[in-house]
């Protein structure tokens, strides 16, 4: 059962990471720089989704937060594919991140953060599983949201409960 879950969750992230090898002129901030949203926030009233991250994101990399755990992602790639824009990356320790937005980079379609210990979030608005917003500050963007939480090492944690996540990144030039 865990293999099926891992396959279903890893599929979109792997596609996004494979596509990230096609970097180039499509990376960077949209023009004009603005703020976009996904669907309505999945949090209850008064429960704000955290938007801050204390871990420093390296230039051309990212910093990710899953619940209260943060990690730096050393290498990311960004690309325009059909009508969507994607960013994905990883570090040597095994952590991975993937974000897909609309082509104008203003609405988050999906996002996933996977840590090497098997803990992950898999937010996907097309499946009505969570939501996220994206804001831009020059070439840097921040995605903050909430989505189903999984722990691949614990079969009892199988996406029933949401977890907050934050991704702060810039695309390589």
Q: 59 preceded by cis ω (within 30°)?
A: no
For 77, the domain range is 2-25+58-170
For residue 146, being part of any structural domain is answered with yes
Q: Is the dihedral of CA 156, 152, 16, 66 positive or negative?
A: positive
Q: 80: which 2 tokens?
A: 């325009």
Written as tens digits, the pLDDT of the chain (173 aa) is 444 444 444 444 443 443 344 334 444 444 444 444 443 334 444 456 677 888 998 888 999 999 999 999 999 999 998 999 999 999 999 999 999 999 999 999 999 999 999 999 999 999 999 999 999 999 899 999 999 999 998 888 888 899 999 999 998 76
Dist CA 65 CA 95 (whole Å): 11
For residue 155, being part of any structural domain is answered with yes
Secondary structure class of 71 (helix, strand, coil): strand
Q: For residue 6, count other CB atoms closer than 10 A to its CB.
A: 15
Q: Is the dihedral of CA 39, 48, 133, 34 positive or negative?
A: positive
For residue 65, being part of any structural domain is answered with yes
For residue 44, being part of any structural domain is answered with no
Dist CA 109 CA 84 (whole Å): 9
Nearest to 160 by CA among 122, 106, 116: 122
For residue 17, being part of any structural domain is answered with yes
Q: Is the dihedral of CA 64, 9, 135, 146 positive or negative?
A: negative
* 153 CB burial (10 A radius; 0-12, 13-18, 19+): exposed
How many domains in the chain?
Answer: 1
* 171 CB burial (10 A radius; 0-12, 13-18, 19+): buried
Is-above-0.85 flag for pTM?
Answer: no
DSSP conformational letter for 124: E
**End-to-end Cα distance, the chain:** 41
For residue 36, being part of any structural domain is answered with no
For residue 11, being part of any structural domain is answered with yes
Dist CA 89 CA 62 (whole Å): 8
For residue 68, being part of any structural domain is answered with yes
């Amino acid at each position: 059962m865990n293999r099926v879950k891992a396959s279903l969750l890893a599929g979109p992230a792997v596609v996004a990471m494979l596509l990230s090898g096609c970097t180039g002129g499509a990376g960077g901030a949209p023009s004009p720089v603005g703020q976009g949203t996904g669907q309505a926030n999945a949090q209850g009233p008064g429960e704000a989704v955290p938007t801050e991250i204390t871990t420093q994101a390296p230039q051309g990399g990212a910093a990710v937060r899953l619940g209260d755990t943060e990690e730096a992602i050393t290498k990311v790639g960004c690309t325009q594919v059909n009508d969507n824009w994607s960013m994905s990356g990883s570090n040597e320790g095994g952590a991975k991140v993937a974000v897909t937005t609309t082509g104008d980079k203003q609405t988050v379609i999906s996002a996933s953060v996977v840590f090497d210990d098997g803990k992950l979030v898999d937010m996907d608005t097309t499946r009505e599983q969570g939501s996220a917003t994206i804001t831009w500050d020059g070439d840097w963007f921040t995605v903050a949201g909430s989505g189903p939480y999984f722990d691949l090492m614990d079969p009892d944690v199988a996406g029933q409960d949401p977890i907050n996540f934050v991704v702060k990144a810039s695309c390589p030039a």
